């Protein structure tokens, strides 16, 4: 299987439209949506094996900004991008299948900050269109995650 943008979009629509005054609960919903999406990733013939800390790492970064009523679009985008980085790299996600590998790099973090800052700067409503913009930015950045595996030593992006 591969990363499925429509699935992420639909899960973010649900997460965004469910009422909640609790920033921490919202952060958990967004992290669950991303974790479900990321579970379908693959690099070559390898698939991620999550141990449970990935979504917690992302939720932790999101909670800090979702509980701050004075946060800016740039702060939210930076926290989200740092959360995605932590999701994949702290500790590095292991991939198994036709061999073994681990995530070694997330070069899309800077681009994700820019994309999300743009989206969140005009985040006046929580529509399906906004969810699609967020999902598209996350999908674009996630596809830059690099997995190292071997032998011989090889790298591949997530798809």
User: Domain range for residue 9?
Assistant: 5-157
Q: 16-26: per-residue pLDDT in tens? A: 887 767 889 99
Record the pTM: 0.93
pLDDT number for residue 140: 97
pLDDT number for residue 151: 77
Q: 92-132: per-residue pLDDT in tens? A: 999 999 788 999 999 999 999 999 999 999 866 667 888 99
Residue 110 CB neighbour total at 10 angstroms: 12
Helix or strand run (H / E) with residue 103: strand 99-105
């Amino acid at each position: 299987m591969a990363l499925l943008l429509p699935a992420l979009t639909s899960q973010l629509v649900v997460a965004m439209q469910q009422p909640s005054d609790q920033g921490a609960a919202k952060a958990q919903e967004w992290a669950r949506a991303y974790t479900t999406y990321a579970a379908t990733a693959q690099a070559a013939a390898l698939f991620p094996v999550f141990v449970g800390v990935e979504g917690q790492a992302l939720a932790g970064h999101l909670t800090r900004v979702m509980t701050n009523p004075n946060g800016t679009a740039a702060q939210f985008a930076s926290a989200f991008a740092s959360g995605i980085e932590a999701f994949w790299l702290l500790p590095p996600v292991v991939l198994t299948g036709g061999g073994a590998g681990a995530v070694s790099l997330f070069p899309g973090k800077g681009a994700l900050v820019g994309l999300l800052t743009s989206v969140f700067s005009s985040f006046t409503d929580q529509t399906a269109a906004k969810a699609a913009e967020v999902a598209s930015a996350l999908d674009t950045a996630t596809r830059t995650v690099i997995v190292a595996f071997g032998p011989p030593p090889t790298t591949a992006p997530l798809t």
